[in-house]
Amino acid sequence: MGTLDGKVAIVSGSGRGIGREVALKLASEGASVVVNDLDAAVALETEQDIKSAGGQVVACIGSVTEEGFAERFVNTAVESFGGLDIIVNNAGYTWDSVIQKMTDEQWGAIVDLHLKAPFQILRAAQPYFKAHPVDYHRKVVNVSSIAGVFGGPGQSNYASAKAGIIGLTKTLAKEWGRYKVNVNAVAFGFILTRMTEALAGDDVFVEIDGRRIKAGVSQSVMDRVKTSNPFGRPGTPAEAAGAVYLLCTPEADYINGQCLNVDAGSR
């Protein structure tokens, strides 16, 4: 018996990294999961891994910023599994620059991805929550960042969007209490993903949504993580997923409108 038996979850950006680990964890605890990524290959890989482990899963491939995606995402859960109980807004990447060099395209792409897209997904879910009341608590977990809490040099776009998602979280926690929906956020510190594993000097680029984005962090950032983090290391995607899972459990039924900093106590 899993703690999430009978629940239905949608997890954006779950083909890789933190999102993948969240999807695997929720499925392992009994939830039926709609996985998503704009890269079909990795979305289908996550789907297959969950199926191989005996879980219930379906893939909804596409960018969360596409027109109409939010409704398609929600409808996939309802049509495939008969309901919707857990929403994890995780999809994202960074596209950094100091403010004087940041273009309007950079600003808009990141704000649309990290703030507008989650807003649209949550807006699309509201009619279902209102029309289908339940006697248990549904859960929303929005992924923010320590950059949204404390700021991040070179990340005015990302930090602003991640701060905004905290405001959205706290607002919907007040609006959706009447539907028995808990709305919380997690603010991750340094977690090792494909965007952070490489050193910046290695000139590693990733193709995301038709854009060639430079990945990696500087050696000084890596060194600072080792000295400022009480554990002396970055977090893993599985550890990040654990925090999301905690807020999806019945034990979190009276936690609402909170932002949990998941950074090993570095700040």
What confidence tens digit (pLDDT) does each residue in 132-152 have?
Answer: 999 999 999 999 999 999 999
CA-wise closest residue to 112 among 71, 165, 60, 148: 165
Q: How far apart are CA 50 and CA 56, in angstroms?
A: 7
β-partners of residue 219 are none
Domains along the sequence of the chain with CATH: 8-191+236-262 (3.40.50.720)
**Region class of 209: left (phi > 0), else alpha (psi between -120 and 50), else beta:** left
Residue 1: band (very low, low, confident or very high) from pLDDT cuts 50, 70, 90: confident
The answer to whether 44 and 21 have CB atoms below 8 angstroms apart is no
- From the list 93, 128, 136, 158, the catalytic residue is 158
Under DSSP, the state recorded for 14 is: -
pTM attached to this predicted model: 0.94
In the residue annotation, 93 being an active-site residue is answered as: no
Q: What is the pLDDT of residues 210-258, one digit of tens each?
A: 777 776 666 667 777 778 899 999 999 999 999 999 999 999 999 999 9
Read off the pLDDT of residues 156-171 as tens digits, 9 standing for 90 and up: 999 999 999 999 999 9
Q: Which residues of 65-94 are buried (b: 16+ CB within 10 A; e: fewer)?
A: beeebbeebbebbbebbeebbbbbbbbbbb
